[in-house]
Chains A and B, each alone.
Chain A
Amino acid sequence: MNDVAVIGFARSDRSVTTSAVETLVPVFEQALAQAGLGRREVDFWCSGSSDYLAGRAFSFVSAVDAIGAVPPISESHVEMDAAWALYEAYLKILAGEAETALVYGFGMGTAGDLNRVLALQLDPYTVAPLWPDAASVAALQARLVFEAGLISERDMAGMTAVRVADGVSAVVLAARDRVRGRPAAWISGIAHRVDPQGLGERDLTTVPSAAAAAHDAGLDGAVDVAALHAPFTHQESLLRHVVRAGTYLPFETNPMFAAGLSRIGAAAAEVMSGRARTAVGHATSGPALQQNLICVLEGLEA
């Protein structure tokens, strides 16, 4: 459709203080400078974050202070990775309700014991009381992947493991009429799906929601570059079966709730710089790759 493009991206894989606000302000400035937009020229703001990472209710409320929302702004928030906030902003532009948007995500993965915190995403009546931590759930999946012969422990040892980190990221979107010759990565397709969560409810060696999202996003054949959001290395391998690319961008960190948006931003940066003609940014959420989003980007010539 090529009606909406990424025109700015910035991220920080560390936090300045215990508050997201101080970390977000310079990242907003960088992303908007790259986009060539002032903050008052943003029609719609949308963010993704989690109260459970911040350890308090309404944690996104104080992040609004980073925007300077006086006079008031059009704004929304998802309790998800900010890649899904990007999807909401993309729709807002497609619907004609906005022409520009700034999407941001933030998370302090190191503030608590993330491995245990994520156990609280599981069914609270039957599973979470057993406190299966995130690494244990991922290990169940990895064991099945080994046994299916999809990847060896040796292969896995050769892949870079991402570490939990603090981080923020920001992406600027614009409608076709507002791109006006700026470097742009056009969103040719974006889609997301969720699988049922029950660990016995799907074949954990497959990722149906990622495959369906890739299909919905019009992903057809290999792209030049892919940025995959894989919290564990065997998951990177599973995702590479879904998204085929000439180059997979390396990532060292997984700043939860900003990480997926960062993958889209990094993929877009490859296209905007001309290093890639086609790229995919991917985000995941939930245990064992339960929920997945695929964003297909391309340069102007495509």
Chain B
Amino acid sequence: MRRAAVLGTGQTEHRTRRTDVSMAGLCREAIERALADSGTDWSQIDAVVLGKAPDLFEGVMMPELFLADAIGAAGKPLLRVHTAGSVGGATAIVATTLIRAGVHRRVLAVAFEKQSESNAMWALSIQPPFSAPITAGAGGYFAPHIRSYIRRSGAPGHIGALVAVKDRRNGALNPYAHLRQPDITLESVQASPMLWDPIRYDETCPSSDGACAVVIGDQQAAEQSSGQVAWIRATAMRTEPTFYSGKDHVDPRAGAEAAAALWAAAGIKDPLDEVDVAELYVPFSWFEPMWLENVGFAEKGQGWKLVESGGTALGGALPVNPSGGVLCSNPIGASGLLRFAEAAMQVMGRAGEHQVAGAATALGHAYGGGSQFFSMWVVGRNP
């Protein structure tokens, strides 16, 4: 299979309301940083892939059409991906496929969400006749799955708060993060209001405006790059229905099978030993131990122990979400691409204060819908 690599990444400052920029301006902020980071100019971009979550979040139908010029796609091929919350990851994977198919040399993947343009809760609350409600408010949907995880694993109640403290402190090291809380403590998280038992206010992701962009190139483009690139060693996507007989929301089969396919394709036999850093899609703190088990970093029911031991903190055996993760910034459509981009930044050695020393192999992970759409990649300092 042809090789592909991340040549560079860029992202915006993520905030609740980026009223200083239009949607085009938001995307351009991320794209121009990615072009600069990759040493690429607009003329070298052969195609653009744009990802975002539901169009109703901004109130614009297929916004890539009016954005075509601003995102450098005019006169070029433009694809628009939408795979729910996993879309940012899917966007990077589709761009990778464009390279691996041998049709392009350099592809720009960009993902954004500008939630302040509309009202996401309204967008999620439209109820067409004869269809099941999608239960607006993700916290209410996912809280029972977390309670089930706690019951199954016997995890102590403070694990979620530990994750929140770690991620918010990591976010304080990331100049782009929406929430930066260096002084947060276990006690302050546990004192924050309960929203959906057992999820407290400080254990939930924010609602952000933001964008992320990544330039992906073929082997020749990667070898011509003056900076370190992130070689894409494997990608995987899996889908299952929202509900079916036997569906396990705590340990979804689609996530486990995507991870198994990913590790096999990357030639990784012991993920905990061979992966140096992971960016997992954790919108609610408890999903860190759940996903540690689902993707194979820990045995079933044991993920919380890796968290409790400090193994997922910076300096631990497997730092998870050194960027601060979704818990610190959540421009929904871009959140998956931010995970993928941070994995690349880590192996390129360009993660600044949240750099994991010596990171050579990294996982980017995203999920969406009712824990049913999964996208992942493994990137490495070497092919």
Contact = CB atoms under 8 A, between A and B. Distances in A.
A65 B66 CA distance: 32
Given A84-B79, A95-B2, A201 B62 contact: no
Nearest to B374: A72
Interface in B83-107: 83-84, 90, 93-94, 97-98, 100-103
Contacts of B124: 57
A201 B101 CA distance: 32
What is the size category of the interface that chain B forms with chain A? 35 or more
Contacts of A87: 79
B103 A74 contact: no
B238 A72 contact: yes
Given A79-B62, A95-B101, A121-B66, 16 more contacts: A52-B61, A61-B369, A70-B241, A71-B257, A72-B239, A76-B94, A96-B1, A123-B66, A124-B60, A128-B60, A193-B77, A194-B77, A196-B69, A197-B65, A197-B69, A209-B75
A78 interface: yes
Given A56-B128, A75-B237, A95-B1, A194 B68 contact: yes
A195 B56 CA distance: 24
Interface string A58-72: 101110110001111
24 contacts: A56-B128, A57-B56, A61-B84, A61-B372, A64-B239, A69-B239, A71-B240, A72-B253, A72-B257, A76-B93, A76-B237, A77-B81, A79-B55, A84-B80, A91-B97, A91-B98, A91-B103, A92-B97, A95-B102, A120-B61, A124-B59, A192-B77, A193-B77, A193-B78
Contacts of B90: 76
B134 interface: yes
Given A54-B128, A196-B68, A198-B69, A88 B94 contact: yes
Nearest 9 CB-CB pairings of A with B:
A57-B54, A75-B239, A72-B254, A95-B100, A94-B101, A79-B82, A196-B69, A91-B101, A52-B61
Interface of A: 17-19, 45, 50-52, 54-58, 60-62, 64-65, 69-80, 84, 87-88, 91-92, 94-97, 117-118, 120-125, 127-128, 191-198, 201, 208-209, 212, 285-287, 290-291
Contacts of A196: 68-69, 74-75
A291 B126 contact: no
Interface string B1-29: 11000000000000000000011000000
Contacts of B94: 76, 88
A58 B84 contact: yes
Nearest to B238: A72
A95 B79 contact: no
Contacts of A287: 65
A198 B94 CA distance: 27
Given A57-B126, A95-B1, A120-B60, A80 B80 contact: yes
Contact of A286 (B23, B54, B62, B82): B62
B382 interface: no
A290 B65 contact: yes
From A18, A55, A71, A95, residue with most partner B Cβ within 10 Å: A95
A297 B74 CA distance: 26
Given A97-B97, A196-B68, A290-B65, A78 B80 contact: yes
B242 interface: yes
Given A55-B126, A71-B253, A195-B68, A50 B239 contact: no
Nearest to B56: A57
B131 interface: yes
Contacts, number: 191
B251 to A, nearest CB: 13
Which DSSP category, helix, strand, loop or mixed, fits chain B's interface?
loop
A62 B131 contact: yes
B377 to A, nearest CB: 13
A291 B61 CA distance: 15
A72 B260 CA distance: 12
Contacts of B129: 18
Contact of A56 (B61, B80, B126): B126
A201 B66 CA distance: 12
Given A64-B241, A70-B244, A121-B65, A195 B74 contact: yes
A124 B2 CA distance: 40
Contact of B81 (A18, A58, A78, A286): A78
A192 B49 CA distance: 13
Given A58-B54, A97-B97, A194 B244 contact: no
Contacts of A197: 65-66, 68-69
Contact of A65 (B93, B128, B241, B246): B241
Contact of B131 (A19, A64, A121): A19
B82 A78 contact: yes
B294 to A, nearest CB: 12
A118 B56 contact: no
Contacts of B63: 124
B73 interface: yes
The residue among B22, B79, B244 with the most chain A CB atoms within 10 A of its own CB is B79
Contacts of A195: 68, 74-75
Contacts of A194: 65, 68, 73-78
B100 A97 contact: yes
B37 interface: no
B79 A55 contact: no
Given A94-B103, A121-B61, A291-B78, A73 B238 contact: yes
Interface string B226-253: 0000000000011111101010000001
A55 B239 CA distance: 23
Contacts of B61: 50, 52, 117-118, 120-121
A287 B258 CA distance: 38
B97 A88 contact: yes
Indicate the member of B61, B75, B94, B238 with the most A CB atoms within 10 Å: B61
Nearest to A98: B97
B155 interface: no
A72 B240 contact: yes
B45 to A, nearest CB: 13
Nearest to A57: B54
